[in-house]
Amino acid sequence: MPAGGQRGQAGGCRGAKGDTQAHAAAMIASLLAIIAREALRFIHQRERFLAALVRPLVWLLVFAAGFRAALGLSIIPPYQTYITYETYIVPGLCGMILLFNGMQSSLSLVYDREMGSMRLLLTSPQPRWWLLFSKLIGSTTISILQVYAFLAIAALFGIDMPAWGYVTVLPALLVAGLMLGALGLLLSSFIKQLENFAGVMNFVIFPMFFLSSALYPLWKMAESSELLHDICAANPFTHAVELIRFALYTELNLPALGWTLLATAIFTAAALWGYDPARGAMRRKT
């Protein structure tokens, strides 16, 4: 980890400016270093990349094929005409990649803590919020690469989106990835041991994924239960998926963006609180 910026020796305006520049350079260097570490970890774990791709592809090519005729037909925005079930679940599966990666990132943080590298990271002279933010950006970048790999394979199977959709989806993936990464950070501040990660699967990933619009539209959920529909509508993952769905069709879903940003802010604030050595959960662990 690079050292912090040199403290300015000379007084006056020029010294202060130089100080700020050096400090900013150090912050960027630490951001790049953390992203590079995430990328290295990702490259060295090819199974992880394959697993991250196989999971949504199984849903797309096996599950969706079986349910092709079962969903029923209805045109909902952003779609202008009838779509196959495979086309419907693509945005949800993009969200699934981001969700699993967010949680994976949480797992790696718990691992880092157990191995001691977390202590090394947090004792860096950079502000803790910046280190956590860098970690968030790093894991989101990797997630986005995986989403694009998934979209490319889906396109090879004939499940493609409008050409510009592949561009306009990028900011939506970034926002959704940050939100789910922040949730992962928050969870990692509370999980004491690696073994407890199974609980995350049961109590966070599955409910978040199934109680959302990833696999079925909300109107379909409302047909069976209003309560389930309301839970799905409150689930931030639903809004992340809808943000991605609209962006893939070059449209902006403002309410979905608003809810996703709000959830990102809440999760990030809670994660920072959790990692604050004076107050949060880290007080008990570090």
Partner 1 sequence: MRSILAALLIAGPVSADEIWVTNEKDDTISVIDIETLEVTRTIDTGERPRGITFSQDHSVVYICASDSDAVQVMDPETGEILHDLPSGEDPEQFVLHPDDRRLYIANEDDAITTVVDTETRRVIAQIDVGIEPEGMAVSPDGAIAITTSETTNMAHWIDTETEELFANTLVDTRPRHAEFTKEGRELWVSSEIGGTITVFDVATQAETAKISFEVQGIHPDRVQPVGFEFTQEEDIAFVALGPSNHIAVVNAETYEVEDYILVGRRVWHMAFNEDKSLLFTTNGVSGDVTVINVPNREAIKSIKVGRFPWGAAFRPTD
- Which residues here bind partner 1, judged by CB under 8 A? 65, 68-69, 73, 75, 80-84
Q: With respect to partner 1, which residue has the nearer C-beta, 155 or 201?
A: 155
The residue with tokens 């050595």 is 277
Residue 150 Cβ vs partner 1, minimum distance, rounded to whole Å:
22
Residue 247 Cβ vs partner 1, minimum distance, rounded to whole Å:
19
Q: With respect to partner 1, which residue has the nearer C-beta, 80 or 202?
A: 80
Is-contact 190 274, C-beta < 8 A? yes
Residue 243 Cβ vs partner 1, minimum distance, rounded to whole Å:
23
Q: With respect to partner 1, which residue has the nearer C-beta, 84 or 168?
A: 84
- Output the CA angle 225-227-228, nearest 5 degrees: 70
How far is Cα 235 from Cα 238, in angstroms, rounded to an integer? 5
Q: With respect to partner 1, which residue has the nearer C-beta, 6 or 74?
A: 74
Is-contact 253 269, C-beta < 8 A? no
How far is Cα 26 from Cα 43, in angstroms, rounded to an integer? 25
Residue 74 Cβ vs partner 1, minimum distance, rounded to whole Å:
9
Residue 53 Cβ vs partner 1, minimum distance, rounded to whole Å:
24
Q: With respect to partner 1, which residue has the nearer C-beta, 10 or 69?
A: 69
How far is Cα 166 from Cα 244, in angstroms, rounded to an integer? 10
- Percent helix, strand and coil across the chain, each to the nearest 5: 75, 0, 25
